Amino acid sequence: MAGNRMGTQTIVFPRQPRLIAMHSIVGPMEGRGPMAEYFHEILPDDMLEQTTPEKAEKLILEMAIEKALNQKNLTKEHIQYYIAGDLLNQIISATFSARSLNVPYIGIYGACSSFAEGVGLAAVLLEGGFAQKVLVGTSSHYQTAERQYRYPIELNVQHKVTSQHTVTGAGAVVISIDGEGPKVTHATFGKIVDMGVKDPNDMGSAMAPAAFDTISRHLEDTGRTIDYYDLVLTGDLGLQGLKMLRILAERNNTPFGERVQDGGVLIYNQHQGVGAGGSGCACSAVITLGYVNTKMYLGELHKVLIVGTGALLNSLTALQGESIPCIAHAIALET
Amino acid sequence: MAGNRMGTQTIVFPRQPRLIAMHSIVGPMEGRGPMAEYFHEILPDDMLEQTTPEKAEKLILEMAIEKALNQKNLTKEHIQYYIAGDLLNQIISATFSARSLNVPYIGIYGACSSFAEGVGLAAVLLEGGFAQKVLVGTSSHYQTAERQYRYPIELNVQHKVTSQHTVTGAGAVVISIDGEGPKVTHATFGKIVDMGVKDPNDMGSAMAPAAFDTISRHLEDTGRTIDYYDLVLTGDLGLQGLKMLRILAERNNTPFGERVQDGGVLIYNQHQGVGAGGSGCACSAVITLGYVNTKMYLGELHKVLIVGTGALLNSLTALQGESIPCIAHAIALET
């Protein structure tokens, strides 16, 4: 048995696959936020001369992949699997980026938890000896997400205070059994948690219990406390979801405190008019590959738990009166 | 290294995970087709007293899961991971079925190749020692697919001769490192192949080159010829796609002959008015878990290559003038 412990939800990776090459791209709005200095690339505009935002999102993901490979002079021939997902119907950004890459492709869907899900699966393939290098990529785009899940931005529909702003950007990372970079030491794949929240304009509240469940399981499985980590970074709970998560932890008599931060809260300034903060597949990807990786490289962070959070609704389930099933997948990164 | 051979696209599973418990459900139309006797369950109607076809599809998948577990007196506590995907936006059938199951959930998307993708990933988790039992499920529904990808059935839009009929049904299977049942000996995860076909009413022609690529890779990697297998079963190429696949094989001077069959061709009688045949995530799942498994149990088939085929378009990419990226994932089952 390679690295798991049966009876727990958490996989241990003794071979410690590493994040060896990566690239994070964001749009102009994210480039004016407080995390700007950490991203590899800030785009001057979010359309890149494409005729539709869907084509722009695909191009941004392809750019992230190409530059991640270039960072360590890798080519697609070095990669055994490409794992990718995004928010669009039938994950078209992931698939179309896979077309240009031409390596075996494993499409995934975990909404905004897709990045963590992909890194976890990549670590499984590497730890199990099925690959030496796996590429993980994900993207999201404000315009594509708005018109698919809500309204075309041209309508200028007013957002609620709990609404979140989809991050325009993409992240790609090569994870390898050899090389230098943050080590993936554990993965805790989450269960679906649905506490009955039905408001698609408050996905933070819907997702917070899933984040709490996965973090709790991870700590229980590993015998760690929240203080073991320098940072526990949820993907995109936003202000509302992060508040809910802290309340859940306090009620459980295990207050999380300031060690738990959220990518959706960190990525924008409040004066940018983003409601409760950022969201989208790219959110946790660019914060992890930009901010967390840089801080690990600088020796300012050593142990980080990435908790990708996903609200697994679609626009039709909301209209049919269903509540929002949510999930969180956790990945432990250590130097 | 546990079972892979670097430099090839095919994973070998020396521990040979087994399909130990399964259930295939189909709708009434599939229940009048030539495969009827092999399915575990035929539904009297395709709505099951639900208010929407999406709710019916979710229920059918949940039924398949429950009955697959019951077949070997298993409970959800025996399962370490649930891997699932379907055709609907944001794979809602998979996610909502995961909500009622409450085990760690890995959402995937490979269109109609999702079943083979899921079985391959399950085998990876089992071979690598990360789990002892993994559940894989998938579903599709004629009404949900028509109104999402094409038109609501109430419009009664005429279909083309190359159009395919989405199978209503679901399949669920428990794959285990111990127990009795067909062994998963190899998996060949496919690359995206896109030969430029843009007609969403001819997905068979679009997918055939992907099937050919994956079958060719699998045979090359394993040193086998097509005759090694008693049956090579593509998922849902339909009459048009199967014809294309045979032409590709002949042009390559490796004619496939009658050993290569297609689930979409097998599942309906031509007089049922199904255009080029069946399609959908459920198609390859129910043919594999119903027909192939029964024939293996009876000793009439011993070596079968399941080739799940997926057309990874969405309704928007077709409107934006994109061609159809396709994929095929192959799984070798042996007794």
Q: Report pLDDT digits (tens) over A82-107.
A: 999 999 999 999 999 999 899 999 99
B325 interfaces chain A, CB cutoff of 8 Å:
yes
Structure token digits, residue B331 = 């799984």
Question: Across the interface, do A128 and B130 touch by the CB < 8 Å criterion?
Answer: yes
d(CA A75, CA A77): 5
pLDDT at position B325 is 97
Structure token digits, residue B318 = 């077709």
Q: Which of A154-163, A273-282, B59-68, B213-222 has the lowest mean pLDDT?
A: A154-163
Closest residue in A to B2 (Cα–Cα): A129
Question: Across the interface, do A2 and B2 touch by the CB < 8 Å criterion?
Answer: yes
Structure token digits, residue A100 = 């240009």
Q: Report pLDDT digits (tens) over B167-214.
A: 999 999 999 999 999 999 999 999 999 999 999 999 999 999 999 999
pLDDT at position A2 is 41
Question: Across the interface, do B109 and A125 touch by the CB < 8 Å criterion?
Answer: no
Q: Report pLDDT digits (tens) over A218-274.
A: 999 999 999 999 999 999 999 999 999 999 999 999 999 999 999 999 999 989 999
d(CA A192, CA B180): 30
Q: How far is B34 from chain A (nearest CA, A)?
A: 31
Q: Cα-flanking dihedrals φ and ψ of residue A8, to 5°?
A: -115, 170
The conformation of residue A112, written as its DSSP 8-state character, comes to G
Structure token digits, residue B206 = 């679009």
Report the greatest alpha carbon distance in chain A: 55
d(CA B41, CA B24): 6
Residue B167: Cβ within 10 Å count = 34
Of A48, A52, A46, A41, which Cα lies nearest the Cα of A27?
A: A46
End-to-end Cα, chain B, rounded Å:
25
Confidence of residue A6 (pLDDT cuts 50, 70, 90): low
Q: How far is A293 from chain B (nearest CA, A)?
A: 25
Structure token digits, residue A289 = 């590959």
Which among B91, B102, B315 has CB closest to A109? B91
Which among A1, A98, A320 has CB closest to B54? A320
Interface of A with B in 187-206 (CB under 8 A): 189-192, 194
Question: Across the interface, do B1 and A107 touch by the CB < 8 Å criterion?
Answer: no
B315 interfaces chain A, CB cutoff of 8 Å:
yes
Q: How far is A32 from chain B (nearest CA, A)?
A: 30
Structure token digits, residue B230 = 């008693």
Closest residue in A to B5 (Cα–Cα): A130
pLDDT at position B228 is 98
Selected for mutation to probe chain A from B5, B78, B89, B198 (highest A CB count within 10 Å) is: B89
d(CA B255, CA B15): 32
Chain B hits for A189, Cβ within 8 Å? 81, 104-106
Which among B128, B316, B322 has CB closest to A2? B128
The alpha carbon dihedral of A99, A100, A102, A103 has a sign of negative
Residue A185: Cβ within 10 Å count = 21
Q: How does DSSP assign A131-182, residue by residue?
A: -SEEEEEEEE-HHHHHHHHS--GGG-PPPPTT--EEPPEEEEEEEESSSSS-
Question: Which H or E run contains A248?
Answer: helix A238-251
pLDDT at position B6 is 58
Confidence of residue B158 (pLDDT cuts 50, 70, 90): confident
pLDDT at position A158 is 87
B287 to each of B26, B290, B307, how far by Cα in Å? 10, 5, 12
B102 interfaces chain A, CB cutoff of 8 Å:
yes
Question: Across the interface, do B320 and A192 touch by the CB < 8 Å criterion?
Answer: no
Mean pLDDT, all residues of chain A? 96
The answer on pLDDT for B165 being more than 50 is yes
State whether residue B295 is helix, strand or coil.
helix
pLDDT at position A1 is 38
A314 interfaces chain B, CB cutoff of 8 Å:
yes
Closest residue in B to A129 (Cα–Cα): B1
Q: Report pLDDT digits (tens) over B37-67.
A: 999 999 999 999 999 999 999 999 999 999 9
The answer on pLDDT for B1 being more than 60 is no
The answer on pLDDT for B5 being more than 80 is no
Inter-residue contact B267 to B287 (CB < 8 Å): yes
Beta bridge partners of B126: none
Beta bridge partners of A278: A165
A3 interfaces chain B, CB cutoff of 8 Å:
yes
Q: How does DSSP assign A21-50, residue by residue?
A: EEEEEE-TTGGGSTTGGGSSEE-S-SSTT-
Share of chain A above pLDDT 90, in %: 93
Inter-residue contact B275 to B267 (CB < 8 Å): no
Q: Report pLDDT digits (tens) over B281-322.
A: 999 999 999 999 999 999 999 999 999 999 999 999 999 999
Question: Across the interface, do B191 and A105 touch by the CB < 8 Å criterion?
Answer: yes
Half-sphere exposure in the Cβ direction for A32 (13 Å, CA): 10
Chain B hits for A118, Cβ within 8 Å? none
Structure token digits, residue A162 = 């709990």
Question: Across the interface, do A108 and B108 touch by the CB < 8 Å criterion?
Answer: yes
Q: Cα-flanking dihedrals φ and ψ of residue A192, to 5°?
A: -70, 130
Q: How far is A214 from chain B (nearest CA, A)?
A: 10
Beta bridge partners of A304: A231, A333
Inter-residue contact A309 to A328 (CB < 8 Å): yes
Structure token digits, residue A199 = 């408001």
Question: Which H or E run contains B264?
Answer: helix B263-266
A99 interfaces chain B, CB cutoff of 8 Å:
yes
Structure token digits, residue A119 = 């890194």
Residue A284: Cβ within 10 Å count = 36
Report the greatest alpha carbon distance in chain B: 55
pLDDT at position B3 is 44
pTM of the model: 0.97
Chain B hits for A132, Cβ within 8 Å? 6
Task: Name A84's Cβ contacts closer than 8 Å, sequence gap at least 6.
Answer: A61, A91, A93, A94, A95, A97, A98, A105, A106, A107, A108, A114, A118, A136, A137, A138
B123 to each of A187, A269, B7, B134, how far by Cα in Å? 18, 45, 20, 8
pLDDT at position B163 is 94
End-to-end Cα, chain A, rounded Å:
25
Question: Across the interface, do B1 and A129 touch by the CB < 8 Å criterion?
Answer: yes
Chain B hits for A312, Cβ within 8 Å? 90-92, 95, 107
The answer on pLDDT for B4 being more than 90 is no
State whether residue B22 is helix, strand or coil.
strand
Which among B98, B129, B325 has CB closest to A96? B325
The conformation of residue B330, written as its DSSP 8-state character, comes to E
Question: Across the interface, do B90 and A125 touch by the CB < 8 Å criterion?
Answer: no
pLDDT at position A3 is 44
Question: Across the interface, do A99 and B192 touch by the CB < 8 Å criterion?
Answer: yes
Residue A12: Cβ within 10 Å count = 18
